[in-house]
Amino acid sequence: MLAELIIFIIFILSFAGVLFIIVRKLPVLNSLPQNGTTGIKKHQIILDAENKLKEILISFEKQIWLHKFLSWVKIITLKIEIRVDMMLHRIRKKAQQIDKDLKEKK
């Protein structure tokens, strides 16, 4: 019972000490910047470089470059496919014309 009372008294004194320290440091803590910066202003060139770097990282994160590349490959593939289709169409047309000419000769 006595040990519990001593532990309880130590707890109360420790809690009071913490409260006393916090109350004394509240004005200093309140004067600190809210966003965590030190208040040193960065030069405009550094800010511009940081913004450009962030944009590049975001574009890689969103895979915009991969999307553009794959879209380009798709367009080129479709163009090649259309040309091949036109060539096949011409070859078939010529083959039909040759068959027609051979039937007329007989």
CB 39 within 8 A of CB 33: yes
List Cα–Cα distances, 9 to 4, 22, 29, 98, in angstroms: 9, 20, 29, 112
Statement: the pTM of the whole predicted model exceeds 0.85? no
CB 68 within 8 A of CB 74: no
Express each pLDDT in 70-102 by its tens digit.
Answer: 999 999 999 999 999 999 999 999 999 999 988
- What is the residue extent of each domain of the chain? 76-106
Express each pLDDT in 8-41 by its tens digit.
Answer: 999 999 999 999 999 999 888 888 777 766 656 6
Phi, psi of 58 (to 5 degrees): -65, -40
